[in-house]
Amino acid sequence: MRAWWSHRQWLDRPHTGASAAEVLAATGWARSVGGAAPYLGLFARAGLGRAEVDAELAALRVHELPSARGCTYVLPADDFALGLAVGAAAPTGELAAAQKHLGVGRDEVEQLCLAVERALAGGGPLDPTTIREAVGDAVRPLGEAGRKRGLATTLPLALGLMQSRGRIRRVPVNGRLDQQRYGYVGWDQPVLGDAVDLARRYFSWAGPATLKHFRWFSGFSAATARQAVAEAGPVPVAPGSELLLPPELAEEFAGFVVPAEPHYTLLAGIDGIHLLHRDLPRLLDPADAARPLPAGRAGRAFGSETDPQTHLVLDRGRIVGLWEYDPERAEIVHLSFVPLDDALREAVARTEAFVRDELGDARGFSLDSPKSRAPKIAALRAAAAAQAGGTPV
């Protein structure tokens, strides 16, 4: 099962020559939180460098959009309409909460949306500060009550609604995905698609998967998810199994053979191989699930975590190690669960060169920093040294 998931995620061999849009269409939307995850995933799957990915981003062949659960993902252009459609409930819910708790009127926010659209009509991109200055009194401060709820003004409500409607889009200030400084430009993107469309895509990326897995990824209610899966038509992998996959993949799955040779990839902890299901133990051998977390809370085992606290090394779908990047030494620090061999050393060296030469760092998320990461790096280095019978340098 793990090897099949790896195969469907394009992690069993490099798909050299594929574009970022092609990778994302085949393997699923890439979660983006201002870290290196999209770059690492596209490099591992197709050998794509940062410049190639950034060129597709600039050309709108891929884009970062609020989509499933209202979370930001990097999507291929063919999925822009669907991504916006399935994420539309989140900003609507935020506006409803602001109406209830902060006295923000819907008409007030709609008028602000019109003012923002006028401000962006001259081009752009404009950052939020410049937009706020341009719309003047159309933005209202929400005081201490708003700050407690993470809303200093009404502007984020308007920007969220406009993004979900395809009226504006965020543009990274320096054209990169691994940061969270944006400007906004006007857009005219249709919003189209429904839960069934998402279910069809999801099970092609993630199957075999359960209804519970799909519910987590989509954020849909139980009733909506159940109906969408029923209409999408995935079938059980075996009679009575909760694990489902598209019927057109059933024959291939039944005849799939686990590759005999290892193929190591270094990925972010939020890569789709984990996050599409968000079921960490399925990727772990039992002995590895019982391992203590480097720099984690005392008594916590790796397999008890909802999400990995470090980046991951995988081989045919099994997590076989942990890693972080140390920018001070310009090196990857990794702890291996399997004996080091030439193939693993080469995978580490290849990713290390990519991070050092093209990214400069491998942040897990926007607020991650070398300083905040230092305890994990030290713990990984010490655990690797102890495993090798030496002391950390």
The answer, yes or no, to whether residue 391 has pLDDT greater than 70, is no
Peptide linkage before 125 cis (omega within 30 of 0):
yes
Question: For 26-54, what is the mean pLDDT?
Answer: 97
Q: What percent of the chain has pLDDT over 70?
A: 99
Residue 129 vs residues 136, 183, 317, 365: alpha-carbon distances, Å: 11, 10, 44, 23
Q: What is the pLDDT of residue 365?
A: 87
Q: What is the pLDDT of residue 146?
A: 94
Question: For 267-291, what is the mean pLDDT?
Answer: 96
Looking at the 3D structure of the chain, how many domains does it have?
A: 3
Euclidean distance between CA atoms 304 and 293, whole angstroms:
10
The answer, yes or no, to whether residue 300 has pLDDT greater than 90, is no
**Which one has a higher pLDDT value, 122 or 115?**
115
Whether 208 maps to a domain, the answer reads yes
Cβ burial, residue 306 (10 Å; 0-12/13-18/19+): exposed
Q: What is the pLDDT of residue 297?
A: 74
- At 53-65, the pLDDT tens digits run 999 999 999 999 9
- 276 and 383, same domain (yes or no): yes
- 244 and 131, same domain (yes or no): no
Question: For 295-318, what is the mean pLDDT?
Answer: 89
- 255 and 287, same domain (yes or no): no
Q: What is the pLDDT of residue 17?
A: 95
Question: For 288-296, what is the mean pLDDT?
Answer: 84
Q: What is the pLDDT of residue 346?
A: 97
The answer, yes or no, to whether residue 389 has pLDDT greater than 80, is no
- 157 and 215, same domain (yes or no): no
Q: What is the pLDDT of residue 392?
A: 44
Q: What is the pLDDT of residue 178?
A: 93
Of the candidates 64, 311, 268, the one whose C-alpha atom is nearest the C-alpha of residue 176 is 64
Whether 35 maps to a domain, the answer reads no
Q: What is the pLDDT of residue 390?
A: 54
Whether 237 maps to a domain, the answer reads yes
* Domain-terminating residue out of 115, 147, 164: 164
Helix axes 89-102, 106-120, angle to 10 degrees: 130
Q: What is the pLDDT of residue 61?
A: 98
Whether 342 maps to a domain, the answer reads yes
- 135 and 199, same domain (yes or no): no
Whether 72 maps to a domain, the answer reads no
- 284 and 197, same domain (yes or no): no
Q: What is the pLDDT of residue 122?
A: 82
- Measured over the CA atoms of residue 169, residue 174, residue 175 and residue 181, the dihedral's sign is negative
314 in Cβ contact with 282 (< 8 Å): no
- 245 and 280, same domain (yes or no): no
Question: For 299-327, what is the mean pLDDT?
Answer: 94
- 251 and 273, same domain (yes or no): no
Question: For 2-25, what is the mean pLDDT?
Answer: 97
Whether 154 maps to a domain, the answer reads yes
Q: What is the pLDDT of residue 393?
A: 41
- 333 and 382, same domain (yes or no): yes
Question: For 71-76, what is the mean pLDDT?
Answer: 97
207 in Cβ contact with 1 (< 8 Å): no
Structure tokens at 72: 């930001």
- At 189-207, the pLDDT tens digits run 999 999 999 999 999 999 9
Question: For 29-53, what is the mean pLDDT?
Answer: 97
Of the candidates 175, 155, 206, the one whose C-alpha atom is nearest the C-alpha of residue 55 is 175
Q: How confident is the model at residue 269 (pLDDT cuts 50, 70, 90)?
A: very high
Whether 40 maps to a domain, the answer reads no
Q: How confident is the model at residue 299 (pLDDT cuts 50, 70, 90)?
A: confident
Q: What is the pTM of this model?
A: 0.95
Question: For 330-351, what is the mean pLDDT?
Answer: 96
Euclidean distance between CA atoms 185 and 191, whole angstroms:
17
Question: For 20-33, what is the mean pLDDT?
Answer: 97
- At 118-170, the pLDDT tens digits run 999 988 799 999 999 999 999 999 999 999 999 999 999 999 999 999 999 99
- 291 and 244, same domain (yes or no): no
- 105 and 133, same domain (yes or no): yes
Pairing of strands 244-245, 264-267: unpaired
Whether 239 maps to a domain, the answer reads yes
- At 359-378, the pLDDT tens digits run 999 999 888 888 989 999 99
By residue count, the chain amounts to 393
For 247, the domain range is: 193-259
* Domain-terminating residue out of 145, 164, 183: 164
Q: What is the pLDDT of residue 95?
A: 95
* Domain-terminating residue out of 259, 277, 300: 259
- 274 and 339, same domain (yes or no): yes
Strand partners, 74: 30, 64
- For residues 65, 373, 53, 209, the Cα torsion angle rounded to the nearest 10 degrees is -60
